[in-house]
C-alpha cells in the first residue's frame, strides 16, 4: 500500500489558472458570459462573436508572470496577468 500523504487542499498555481482560462474559452463559457453582459448593457453582439486564448508564453509576451491573451473575433485583444497575492 502506498504511504504517500494526500494533501486535502491542493495548491492552485498560476499555471492551473492559465489552463482554466483555456478551458472556459474552449467550452464557449467566456463568450456566453460576455454576450450576456453586452446584452444586459444594451450593446450589439456580433453574430460571429468568438474568442481564442493563448498563454503569455505561447503568445510571446515577454514577462516572468503567468497570464493569458484573449483575442476576440471583433478585433479586441486583452492580456490578463495572473499574480498570486500574499496569503
Residues 38-79 pLDDT 10s: 899 999 888 777 888 999 999 999 999 999 999 988 889 999
Q: Which domain holds residue 64?
A: 14-82
For residue 8, is it within any domain?
A: no
For the stretch 3-15, pLDDT in tens is 666 666 778 888 8
- 42 by Cβ neighbours in 10 Å (0-12 / 13-18 / 19+) ranks as exposed
For residue 6, is it within any domain?
A: no
Distances 35 to 47, 50, 73, 80 between C-alpha atoms, Å: 10, 10, 13, 19
How many domains is the chain built from?
Answer: 1
pLDDT at residue number 47: 79
- Indicate yes or no: pTM above 0.85: no
**Residue 77 phi, psi (nearest 5):** -140, 135
Q: Which residue's C-alpha cell is 472556459?
A: 24
Amino acid at each position: 500500500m502506498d504511504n504517500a500523504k494526500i494533501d486535502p487542499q491542493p495548491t492552485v498555481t498560476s499555471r492551473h489558472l492559465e489552463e482554466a482560462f483555456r478551458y472556459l474559452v474552449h467550452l464557449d463559457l467566456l463568450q456566453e458570459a460576455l454576450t450576456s453582459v453586452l446584452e444586459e448593457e444594451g450593446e450589439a453582439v456580433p453574430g460571429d462573436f468568438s474568442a481564442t486564448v493563448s498563454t503569455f508564453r505561447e503568445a510571446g509576451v515577454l514577462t516572468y508572470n503567468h497570464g493569458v491573451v484573449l483575442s476576440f473575433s471583433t478585433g479586441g485583444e486583452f492580456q490578463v496577468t495572473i499574480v498570486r497575492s500574499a496569503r
